[in-house]
Amino acid sequence: MIGLASAAPLAQAGGTKTEVWSGAYHCAQGATGLTLTLLVQPDGGTVGLFEFYPVSANPAVPTGCFDMAGMMDRNHHLVLAPGAWRRRPDNYVTVGLTGDETAGDHLVGTIQGPGCTTFALTRQTTPTQPSACASVTS
């Protein structure tokens, strides 16, 4: 998944596309920023990078990231399971998620993890800065 986090949403060779979504989710630590970068294959197979970080309403949240893998079906229903950590803050665990793309530019759903509830993300259409997590492993 090298380079996932620095890619803008675009079509790639063979119909694979990269999508970048950002917004927030809620777990035991409170509101948390989230950038989800996905590489979606034509068959729906999907790998991703889950990056979390502080938001103004909750500035004490640490930065962290981990890999994810799963599927996005033809109806834009996404199911991702957690993978390996790239940057792991103390006392944090990886989480899974399920969600649905709505109106073409929103992704909403639930986070599967201790004390977690929902997430809401918006598709990013401009290039993103390279991620601090893109080359980090822990």
The pLDDT tens digits of the residues spanning 63-86 come to 999 999 999 999 999 999 999 999
Structural domains present in the chain: 17-123 (2.40.128.620)
Q: What six digits make up the tokens of 42?
A: 């034509």
The pLDDT tens digits of the residues spanning 33-67 come to 999 999 999 999 999 999 999 999 999 999 999 99
Strands 17-27 and 10-11: antiparallel
Q: What is the 3-state secondary structure (H, E, C) of 10-69?
A: EECHHHCEEEEEEEEEEECCEEEEEEEEEEECCCCEEEEEEEEECECCECCCCCEEEEEE
Comparing 12-16, 41-45, 48-52, 128-132, the range with the smallest average pLDDT is 128-132
Task: Please calculate the CA angle 78-84-87 and round it to the nearest 5 degrees.
Answer: 105
Mean pLDDT of the chain: 87
Confidence band for 136, pLDDT divided at 50, 70 and 90: low
